[in-house]
Chains A and B, each alone.
Chain A
Amino acid sequence: MAGAVTDTEAAVARAWGWVAALREGATTPWREFAGAGDRRGHYLPGAQQLELLRRLNAAGRPGATLVERVLTASAPGRGRPDLELVGAAEESRFGPRPVDPAELPDAELARVATGLIAEDLVTAGPPAPVRDGRPRPWRRAYRLVGDPWLADPIRAELRRRGRPPGGKRPTILVLGTDLGTMLADAWTARSFAEGGAGWREWLGGFVAHDRTPPRADLVTHARTWADRVGRDRVQIVVSTEHLPALVGVRRPLPAPPAYPADAVDLARRVSAPLGLLVLPELRARLLHETLGAWLADAPGDRLGIPAAHVEWVQVRAAGMRDALLHAGYAVHGDPDALVPDAPAEGSTPDDAGVLRLAVRLLLDHGGRRSEEVPE
């Protein structure tokens, strides 16, 4: 019969119809969609990209640029390739199985989103660097080491106030807090730099080997510096309220940014594709300063130690406290504060939460057309 549409052609038309509807802002899931449209492009976008667009439509109004970027995005790195929609074409014997996009795990959709967020960060660029204040001649000589998530913002602020670290015969201040928080800080610092394994996997590895991550290991920090400058000049600082007096300032010093667990995990996932767009130094700045600003008011619970590992953390912390006391360093604050007593509240990152955050960031910042990658 001339003019009859085959099943395959009808299926393909339905798929292109869904793409067109999503472009216009539809939120109908694929299974329920019953329209048709013309072919517009060389290939049908993958199921992951289409479902991500549908979620963006459900959460807000993505601009035309963002829509096109999502439809032409690839999921960066390794993982499942672009998947076909089930029922969109004659099922091929080859290639990955077609899927119903609503059944895709959130982690897959987040993978596409993180690639786009990485591009957005590069387009936005880092904020202008803040100038250091003129060094005061009467400043105290110190060096601030220890938990990097606590120490880095304080060092930056002290530089701004004209009190950079260093000087003649500086006192080495090893900054720490309870081990549970320090473990979370170590993973957070990592996520905003080189990325790597997820929270459970990362922590589980150290538990299995009964080791403390280097960033959280105050004993090793102290020992390294004691070997260099002598034990008498190394002091452990267990609570930051003692710090202003030790470095010779009056106004209080800043606390580190407090991101919810999902935000930290999102930074971790963005770190990998970002590493392919910019060099490591710029990547760290984009993650800390640009992405950090975007995540400043993200909702959610903070990172917490999983219940299974709480006892291990307490034992390890007690060992750390004893080792520091035994070594004879001066300690500012209560050494018992290093040992967390009750299991701290908190949660572990969750794919659905990470995806929600990613969608929000794309809607807020992804509308711009991406320009030349800045050097």
Chain B
Amino acid sequence: MSSRVLLHVGTPKTGTSYLQDVLFRNRKTLAAGRIRYPADRFDAHFLAALDLMRMPWGGLEAEAIGAWDRLAEQVREHRHTSIISHEILATASRSQIGRALTSLGHGEGAEVHIVLSVRDLVRQIPAEWQENVKHRSGIGYQAFLDEIREPEREGRIASWFWGVQEIPDILDRWGHDLPPERIHVVTVPPAGGAPELLWKRFSQAFGLDGLDLDLEPDRANPSLGVPETALIRRINRAANRDLAPADYRPLVRELLAHQTLSRRRDSPRLALPPDVYPWVRDVEQAWVDEITVRGYDVVGDLAELLGAPPSDWADPDRPSEKQVAGAAVDAITALLLDNARLRHTEERLDRELAETRSALERAYLRPTYRLREKVVRRLQRGRVGRGLLRVYRAARGSSSRSA
């Protein structure tokens, strides 16, 4: 089994997609360095997480059946270091975590480490709301804030949010059986700093220093501005009932959000409302104090978890209608172009199909059949001819037309 297993379990919106892209793309190089990233498809660990946590995800779950056990088996087959990474693992229950750790060899000689990448809540909260909206949610920003601030946390959104963001709780669930030096907290540097800094920290935490990896960003997860997010939310409310999840993903999330609306960089960015900042700051401070006390290995600086107070604030629940209209025009243009592309494809396929059919006819027909078919076609054009055909068919006793 793997001597060392590095389990990266969250949190979302901390550069996890970039990390997973690099790991996936560089599997061979990693393998040469005796590090295994067991994945036959880029979302293999996502499916494994869905399987472990028995979580439906808009129809994808059928592909996830058995995925965790397959992943665990590959980890056990390997002899050195294995890396697993997906951010939804943060919200796993204690029983699922127990199963996960056992299946990876914990307690049988494998040295399991937990890695958690973290970012200040001032940036995480608007980012999580946006993620909700990009996953078909129609909830407004203020309603979202109200729900996550509710102390009982009974609603689904609040349960999910704190399940994937509350750092001390996540580490308590995943790490309560592990010594603190095997729990690594990687902090995301504040905005505006050197872009490679986060990668350096990941590299340090996962032991990738010295490997020659291709670091080109592949799947950037660009964020949307205030009017763009408001637009997607309105689209969700209008179209969700009729648009299946399998169509929503390529059309709304990919085409509109990621490929079109994220290009509009001049619109105001999503931020925390200034009146919520004091409460957020208290929560952040409590977490920093707790992590310090617990003595985990910190890669970065815990002070970075105390976010800067928000400066520009534009309310996504009351956006500039002019900006939303501008974003809508961009969205419609993108959809028109995509629609035109599909129509051309359809025309081309129709042509190819017609050619294929006639080629098939030519290949199989005898000369007399062609003559007979010509006669039938000529007869069908006239009323007398159709009557003659009916008589002929009745006399023949079976219908040559399909039901």
B-chain residues with CB within 8 Å of residue A167 when the two chains form the complex: 403
Whether A277 touches B98, Cβ cut-off 8 Å, given contacts A96-B162, A97-B152, A272-B56, is no
Q: Which of B136-189 contact A (CB under 8 A)?
A: 151-154, 156, 159-160, 162-163, 166, 168-169, 172, 176-177
Contact B169 A94 (CB under 8 A): yes
Contact B159 A82 (CB under 8 A): no
Q: How far is the CA of A43 from the CA of B94 in the complex (A)?
A: 7
Looking at the complex, which one of A77, A96, A278 makes contact with B65 (CB distance below 8 Å)? A278
Query: Which has the most chain B C-beta neighbours within 10 Å: A46, A78, A166?
Result: A78
CB distance from B53 to the nearest CB of A (A): 7
Task: Tell me how many residue pairs across A and B have CB atoms closer than 8 Å.
Answer: 100
Q: Which of A64-83 contact B (CB under 8 A)?
A: 72-82
What band does the interface of chain A fall in when counting residues whose beta carbon is under 8 Å from B?
35 or more
Contact A96 B153 (CB under 8 A): yes
Q: How far is the CA of A97 from the CA of B154 in the complex (A)?
A: 10
B358 within 8 A of A: no
Q: How far is the CA of A209 from the CA of B238 in the complex (A)?
A: 11
A residues at B contact (CB < 8 Å)? 42-43, 45-46, 72-82, 92-97, 115, 141, 166-170, 205, 209, 229, 272-273, 275-280, 373
CB distance from B161 to the nearest CB of A (A): 11
B64 within 8 A of A: yes
Contact A169 B403 (CB under 8 A): yes
CB distance from A143 to the nearest CB of B (A): 9
0/1 string, B49-79, CB within 8 A of A gives 1: 0110111100001101110000000000000
Whether A229 touches B62, Cβ cut-off 8 Å, given contacts A72-B95, A74-B53, A94-B168, is no
CB distance from A225 to the nearest CB of B (A): 11
A-chain residues with CB within 8 Å of residue B51 when the two chains form the complex: 276
A-chain residues with CB within 8 Å of residue B286 when the two chains form the complex: 93-94
A-chain residues with CB within 8 Å of residue B64 when the two chains form the complex: 276
B55 to A, closest residue via Cβ: A77
Q: How far is the CA of A170 from the CA of B172 in the complex (A)?
A: 66
B-chain residues with CB within 8 Å of residue A95 when the two chains form the complex: 166, 168-169, 172
B residues at A contact (CB < 8 Å)? 50-51, 53-56, 61-62, 64-66, 91, 93-96, 98, 151-154, 156, 159-160, 162-163, 166, 168-169, 172, 176-177, 241, 286-287, 290, 398-399, 401, 403
A-chain residues with CB within 8 Å of residue B403 when the two chains form the complex: 141, 166-170, 229
Whether A43 touches B290, Cβ cut-off 8 Å, given contacts A81-B93, A170-B403, A279-B65, is no
15 pairs, CB–CB < 8 Å, chain A vs chain B? A42-B176, A42-B177, A43-B94, A74-B95, A76-B55, A77-B56, A94-B290, A95-B168, A95-B169, A169-B403, A273-B54, A273-B56, A275-B56, A275-B61, A276-B61
Contact B93 A82 (CB under 8 A): yes
B160 to A, closest residue via Cβ: A78
CB distance from B157 to the nearest CB of A (A): 9
Contact B94 A46 (CB under 8 A): yes
Whether A80 touches B159, Cβ cut-off 8 Å, given contacts A168-B399, A170-B403, A276-B64, is yes
CB distance from A167 to the nearest CB of B (A): 7
B-chain residues with CB within 8 Å of residue A96 when the two chains form the complex: 153, 159, 162, 169
Contact A115 B54 (CB under 8 A): yes
Q: How far is the CA of A273 from the CA of B163 in the complex (A)?
A: 20
Contact A76 B176 (CB under 8 A): no
A80 to B, closest residue via Cβ: B159
Q: How far is the CA of A72 from the CA of B65 in the complex (A)?
A: 20
Contact B159 A276 (CB under 8 A): no
Query: Which has the most chain A C-beta neighbours within 10 Å: B51, B98, B401?
Result: B98
CB distance from B102 to the nearest CB of A (A): 10
Whether A373 touches B66, Cβ cut-off 8 Å, given contacts A74-B93, A78-B159, A94-B166, is yes
Contact B168 A276 (CB under 8 A): no
CB distance from A375 to the nearest CB of B (A): 10
Contact B151 A73 (CB under 8 A): no
Q: How far is the CA of A12 from the CA of B48 in the complex (A)?
A: 34
Looking at the complex, which one of B55, B98, B166 makes contact with A78 (CB distance below 8 Å)? B55
Q: How far is the CA of A360 from the CA of B56 in the complex (A)?
A: 25
Q: How far is the CA of A97 from the CA of B162 in the complex (A)?
A: 12
Contact A280 B62 (CB under 8 A): yes
A272 to B, closest residue via Cβ: B56
B-chain residues with CB within 8 Å of residue A166 when the two chains form the complex: 403
Contact A46 B93 (CB under 8 A): yes
Q: How far is the CA of A126 from the CA of B159 in the complex (A)?
A: 35
A-chain residues with CB within 8 Å of residue B176 when the two chains form the complex: 42-43
A-chain residues with CB within 8 Å of residue B56 when the two chains form the complex: 77, 272-273, 275-276
A-chain residues with CB within 8 Å of residue B98 when the two chains form the complex: 42-43, 72
Query: Which has the most chain B C-beta neighbours within 10 Å: A45, A96, A97, A115?
Result: A96
B-chain residues with CB within 8 Å of residue A46 when the two chains form the complex: 93-95
B-chain residues with CB within 8 Å of residue A80 when the two chains form the complex: 153-154, 159
B-chain residues with CB within 8 Å of residue A77 when the two chains form the complex: 54-56
Contact B91 A81 (CB under 8 A): yes
A-chain residues with CB within 8 Å of residue B163 when the two chains form the complex: 81
CB distance from B272 to the nearest CB of A (A): 21
CB distance from A220 to the nearest CB of B (A): 15
Query: Which has the most chain A C-beta neighbours within 10 Å: B95, B154, B169?
Result: B95
B151 to A, closest residue via Cβ: A97
CB distance from A8 to the nearest CB of B (A): 16
Q: How far is the CA of A166 from the CA of B290 in the complex (A)?
A: 70
Contact A276 B93 (CB under 8 A): no
Whether A276 touches B152, Cβ cut-off 8 Å, given contacts A46-B94, A78-B159, is no
19 more contacts with CB within 8 A, not counting A76-B53, A141-B403, A273-B54, are A42-B94, A42-B177, A43-B176, A45-B95, A72-B95, A77-B56, A81-B159, A82-B94, A93-B168, A94-B169, A96-B153, A96-B162, A97-B151, A115-B54, A169-B403, A272-B56, A276-B51, A276-B61, A276-B64
Contact A82 B54 (CB under 8 A): no
CB distance from B129 to the nearest CB of A (A): 17
Q: Which 3 A-B pairs have CB atoms at the shortest separation, nearest pair first?
A: A76-B54, A95-B169, A74-B93
B-chain residues with CB within 8 Å of residue A277 when the two chains form the complex: 65
Q: How far is the CA of A143 from the CA of B327 in the complex (A)?
A: 49
Q: How far is the CA of A42 from the CA of B173 in the complex (A)?
A: 11
